[in-house]
Amino acid sequence: MKISDTIFALSSGAAPSGVAVVRASGPNAMAAAQTLIVDLPETRGMYLRSIRNRNGLLIDRALILVFPAPQSFTGETCIEFQLHGGRAVIVALLNELQALGLRPAEAGEFTKRAFENGKLDLVEVEGLGDLISADTEMQRRLAIEQSNGGLSQLYMDWAERLTRARALIEAEIDFADEDDVPGSVSDLVWADVERIFKEIQQQMMATEKAGSVRDGFKVVIAGPPNAGKSSFLNAIAKRDVAIVTEIAGTTRDVLEIDLDMNGFLVRFSDTAGLRETQDVVELEGVRRARRAISSADLVLWMQGIDSEAEQIPIEMDSVPLLRVATKGDLRTQVHPADQTNIVISVNTGDGLEELRRHILNRVEENWASIGALGAGRLRHLTHLQRASNFVADALSGSELDLRAEDLRLAAESLGRITGRVDVEDLLDVIFSEFCVGK
Question: Amino acid letter at 330?
Answer: L
Residues 75 and 204 in one domain: no
Q: Are residues 96 and 115 in the same domain?
A: yes
Find residue 48's DSSP bridge partners.
63
Is residue 152 pLDDT above 60, yes or no?
yes
Query: Domain ends where: 351, 371, 391?
Result: 371
Residue 429 maps to a domain = no
Q: pLDDT band at 338, cuts 50/70/90?
A: very low
Closest to 431 measured CA to CA, from 21, 22, 73, 115: 115
Q: Are residues 23 and 82 in the same domain?
A: yes
Quote the pLDDT of residue 336. 46
Query: Strand (E) positions, 186-319?
Result: 217-222, 255-261, 264-270, 298-304
Span 147-174, mean pLDDT?
83
Verify that 229 and 346 share a domain, yes or no.
Answer: yes
**CATH number reported for the structural domain that contains residue 283 in this entry:** 3.40.50.300
Q: Residue 255 in contact with residue 240, Cβ under 8 Å?
A: no
Among 94, 119, 144, the domain-final residue is 119
In this structure, the answer to whether residues 160 and 243 fall within a common structural domain is no
Tell which of 119, 149, 179 closes a domain: 119
Domain that holds residue 301: 217-371
Q: Mean per-residue pLDDT for 355-361?
A: 91
Judgement on whether residues 242 and 309 belong to the same structural domain of the protein: yes
Per the structure, the count of domains in the chain is 3
Measured CA to CA in angstroms, residue 387 lies from 161, 189, 392 at distances of 13, 17, 9
Pairing status of strand 78-85 against strand 17-25? antiparallel
30 lies in the same domain as 86: yes
Average pLDDT on 189-197 reads 91
More confident residue, 421 or 383: 383
Are 168 and 232 contained in the same domain? Answer: no
Domain shared by 182 and 261, yes or no: no
Judgement on whether residues 223 and 367 belong to the same structural domain of the protein: yes
| Integer CA distances (angstroms), 197 to 203, 210, 366, 372, 395, in order | 10, 20, 22, 18, 9
* Cβ(126)–Cβ(426) below 8 Å: no
Percent of the chain's residues with pLDDT above 90? 34
- Whether residue 54 is predicted with pLDDT greater than 60 in this model: the reply is yes
Q: Are residues 298 and 230 in the same domain?
A: yes
The answer on pLDDT for 250 being more than 70 is no
Separation of first and last alpha carbons in the chain: 14
Q: Which of 92-96, 134-138, 220-224, 281-285 has the highest mean pLDDT?
A: 92-96
pLDDT higher for 88 or 248?
88
Mean pLDDT of 365-394: 81
Statement to judge: residues 35 and 130 lie in one domain: no
Among positive and negative, which fits the CA dihedral 49, 50, 56, 60?
positive
What gap in Å lies between CA 66 and CA 47, rounded to an integer?
A: 8
Least confident stretch, 10-24, 164-178, 185-199, 377-391: 164-178
Please provide the average confidence, as pLDDT, over all residues in the chain: 83
Tens of pLDDT, residues 10-45: 999 888 899 999 999 999 999 999 999 989 999 999
Q: Does a structural domain hold residue 438?
A: no
- State mean pLDDT over 341-357: 88
